């Protein structure tokens, strides 16, 4: 069977009624498509079988993670072109799944199956989360989901995140700032928004590798508690705390936010953690944090947000993200987040949208991973490294094109008399 690339391109264009935007190189060495475009490389016929058995983003993801499918050239350009071809078509245009189910295109499906060769659907790559048990967002299931994402090796995360070990959107105050500069600026911005003072008690929910509590204790003199469900993160954070000589001021715990027994705190930071909470649990999340704050205490909730959809009941989590990256993760609209916080009793005082900052952060993480690719393959599985490269690059484009955003929501638990304790102007509390 020759010219597999040309046949694949023709089938795709007939099915979707538009020119295929990438160059295609197939397992038989054949090539097709615009010579100046990035190349979609099908290294094995198995890649096509994966796409035909699961004609959706999950089929593409499985082929990518397994190494059956690759991109040569600019990954961002390739993903951008594919997004317009498959995922961002208007409502009048059928997606790939509908096309392959349409009897009118049955002939095209038969040709594609013949090209793919015989065989049962290939098994998913081992990095995929397939079976999940227990109630959604129960403490046990949340622990399992967090472990899948974060317990993949601290050394691997060091390659991606750099010295700051901060796994959330940085804050780029100047064009020439480094990633490390921008992460320190983000941590300091949060400390100033929270109005931290010496000897105040700070709770950092989802503390990661301890960067926020370390910054707050070192530069603002607080007594900090960091909680995480990741045992690997906690061990790494405790080591950092000991090396900094701050064991008397910082406590790192493997603990669910619903099980914190020792409030009230003067301030709470939640940075990139609420995405794991889930829509059905968000009222509980907001109420728990409200109960852990003293009157006059502040909450800084830093959270990725999705755009509104026409029918909220039909909202579903991206299959690739759910199976490979953040199991059970869910994004909320920023308006919904604000509403849930206020329903719990908080007064929301400030919302700052910083999505462009996250796009640049993700591009820096991708660059770090690509620079240290050989080391990454040694520290984790090739499939896991491919997962991280694809998801971070795709997310960078999503932030750039306003498909998702990220917001810092500052809220306060007012006193019984309604006093917020907030300065009169933003300039004063950011000074």
Tell me if 129 is assigned to some domain: no
The yes-or-no verdict on residue 49 having pLDDT over 80 is yes
The yes-or-no verdict on residue 253 having pLDDT over 80 is yes
R_g of the chain, CA atoms, integer Å = 24
Same-domain pairing of 95 and 34: yes
Tell me if 29 is assigned to some domain: yes
Q: Per-residue pLDDT averaged across 190-206, rounded?
A: 97
**pLDDT bucket at 86, cuts 50 / 70 / 90:** low
Beta bridge partners of 147: none
In the listed set 85, 116, 147, which residue is the last one of a domain according to the structure? 116
50-54, 205-209, 314-318, 399-403: segment of lowest average pLDDT: 314-318
Q: Per-residue pLDDT averaged across 60-81, rounded?
A: 94
Buried b (16+ CB within 10 A) or exposed e, 1-34: eeebbebbbebbeebbeeebbbbbbbbeebbbbe
Stronger pLDDT, 352 or 16, i.e. the higher one = 352
In the listed set 64, 85, 116, which residue is the last one of a domain according to the structure? 116
Number of domains observed in the structure of the chain? 2
Query: Domain containing 424: what range?
Result: 139-429
The yes-or-no verdict on residue 318 having pLDDT over 50 is yes
The yes-or-no verdict on residue 100 having pLDDT over 60 is no
Same-domain pairing of 155 and 111: no
Contacts 24+ apart (CB under 8 A), 385-389: 385/156, 386/64, 386/65, 386/67, 387/65, 387/127, 387/324, 387/325, 388/160, 389/75
Stronger pLDDT, 428 or 195, i.e. the higher one = 195
Same-domain pairing of 104 and 145: no
Tell me if 123 is assigned to some domain: no
> What pTM, to 2 d.p., does this model score?
0.92
The mean pLDDT of the chain is 90
* Predicted pLDDT of residue 143: 83
State pLDDT tens for residues 280-299. Answer: 899 999 999 999 999 999 99
* Predicted pLDDT of residue 94: 43
Same-domain pairing of 45 and 157: no
Same-domain pairing of 143 and 109: no
Q: Per-residue pLDDT averaged across 175-196, rounded?
A: 97
The yes-or-no verdict on residue 97 having pLDDT over 60 is no
Q: Per-residue pLDDT averaged across 51-58, rounded?
A: 81
Consecutive H or E run containing 296: strand 293-306
Contact 299, 414 (CB under 8 A): no
**pLDDT bucket at 88, cuts 50 / 70 / 90:** low
Same-domain pairing of 149 and 79: no
How many Å apart are CA 382 and CA 388, to the nearest integer? 10
The yes-or-no verdict on residue 228 having pLDDT over 70 is yes
> Given the structure tokens 């264009």, which residue do they identify?
13
* Predicted pLDDT of residue 280: 86
Bridging pattern class, strands 23-25 and 39-42: parallel
Tell me if 304 is assigned to some domain: yes
Contact 358, 272 (CB under 8 A): no
Same-domain pairing of 185 and 272: yes
* Predicted pLDDT of residue 14: 85
Same-domain pairing of 387 and 282: yes
In the listed set 49, 81, 116, which residue is the last one of a domain according to the structure? 116
* Predicted pLDDT of residue 409: 98
* Predicted pLDDT of residue 95: 43
Tell me if 132 is assigned to some domain: no
* Predicted pLDDT of residue 394: 94
Query: Which ranges of 177-305 does DSSP label H, i.e. alpha helix?
Result: 179-194, 211-220, 231-243, 282-292
> Could you tell me the CATH number of the domain that includes residue 168?
3.40.50.150
Same-domain pairing of 338 and 262: yes
Tell me if 126 is assigned to some domain: no
Rounded to the nearest 5 degrees, what angle is found at the Cα of 96, between the Cα atoms of 94 and 101?
A: 85
* Predicted pLDDT of residue 366: 98
Tell me if 266 is assigned to some domain: yes
* Predicted pLDDT of residue 321: 87
Same-domain pairing of 108 and 191: no
Q: Per-residue pLDDT averaged across 410-425, rounded?
A: 94
Contact 248, 226 (CB under 8 A): no
Contact 5, 31 (CB under 8 A): yes
The yes-or-no verdict on residue 90 having pLDDT over 70 is no
Q: Per-residue pLDDT averaged across 316-339, rounded?
A: 88
Same-domain pairing of 89 and 172: no
Tell me if 133 is assigned to some domain: no
Q: How far, CA to CA in Å, does 299 sit from each of 268, 383, 419? A: 5, 38, 15
How many Å apart are CA 366 and CA 388, to the nearest integer? 8
Same-domain pairing of 77 and 191: no
3-class secondary-structure state, position 223: strand
Query: Which ranges of 67-170 does DSSP label H, i.e. alpha helix?
Result: 75-82, 96-101, 106-116, 139-150, 154-161
Tokens of residue 63, six digits: 């082929």
* Predicted pLDDT of residue 89: 46
Stronger pLDDT, 309 or 248, i.e. the higher one = 248
State pLDDT tens for residues 200-226. Answer: 999 999 999 999 999 999 999 999 999
State pLDDT tens for residues 128-156. Answer: 887 777 787 788 888 887 787 777 789 99
252-266, 298-312, 390-404: segment of lowest average pLDDT: 298-312
């Amino acid at each position: 069977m020759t010219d597999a690339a040309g046949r694949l391109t023709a089938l795709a264009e007939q099915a979707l009624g538009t020119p295929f935007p990438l160059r295609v190189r197939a397992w038989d060495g054949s090539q097709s498509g615009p010579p100046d475009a990035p190349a979609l490389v099908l290294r094995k016929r198995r890649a096509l079988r994966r796409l035909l058995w699961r004609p959706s983003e999950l089929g593409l993801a499985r082929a990518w993670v397994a190494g059956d499918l690759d991109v040569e050239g600019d990954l961002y350009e390739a993903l951008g072109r594919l997004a317009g071809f498959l995922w961002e078509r208007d409502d009048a245009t059928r997606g790939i799944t509908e096309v392959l189910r349409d009897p009118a295109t049955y002939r095209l499906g038969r040709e594609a199956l013949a090209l793919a060769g015989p065989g049962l659907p290939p098994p998913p790559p081992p990095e995929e989360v397939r079976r999940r048990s227990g109630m959604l967002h129960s403490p046990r299931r949340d622990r399992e989901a967090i472990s899948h994402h974060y317990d993949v090796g601290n050394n691997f995360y060091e390659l991606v995140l750099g010295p700051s070990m901060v796994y959330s959107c940085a804050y780029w105050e100047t064009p020439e700032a480094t990633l490390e500069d921008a992460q320190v600026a983000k941590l300091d911005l949060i400390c100033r928004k929270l109005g931290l003072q010496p000897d105040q008690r700070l709770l950092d929910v989802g503390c990661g590798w301890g960067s926020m509590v370390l910054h707050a204790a070192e530069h603002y003199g607080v007594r900090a508690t960091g909680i995480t469900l990741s045992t690997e993160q906690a061990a790494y954070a405790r080591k950092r705390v000991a090396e900094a000589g701050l064991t008397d001021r910082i406590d790192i715990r493997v603990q669910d936010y619903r099980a914190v027994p020792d409030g009230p705190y003067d301030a709470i930071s939640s940075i990139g953690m609420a995405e794991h909470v889930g829509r059905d649990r968000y009222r509980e999340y907001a109420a728990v944090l409200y109960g852990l704050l003293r009157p006059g205490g502040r909450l800084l909730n830093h959270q990725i947000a999705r755009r509104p959809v026409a029918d909220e009941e039909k909202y579903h989590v991206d299959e690739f993200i759910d199976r490979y990256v953040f199991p059970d993760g869910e994004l909320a609209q920023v308006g919904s987040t604000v509403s849930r916080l206020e329903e719990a009793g908080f007064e929301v005082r400030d919302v700052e949208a910083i999505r462009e900052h996250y796009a640049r952060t993700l591009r820096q993480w991708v660059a770090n991973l690509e620079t240290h690719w050989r080391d990454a393959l040694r520290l984790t599985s090739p499939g896991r490294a491919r997962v991280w490269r694809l998801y971070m690059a795709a997310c960078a484009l999503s932030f750039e094109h306003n498909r998702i955003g990220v917001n810092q929501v500052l809220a306060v638990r007012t006193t019984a008399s309604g006093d917020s304790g907030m300065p009169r102007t933003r300039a004063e509390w950011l000074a």
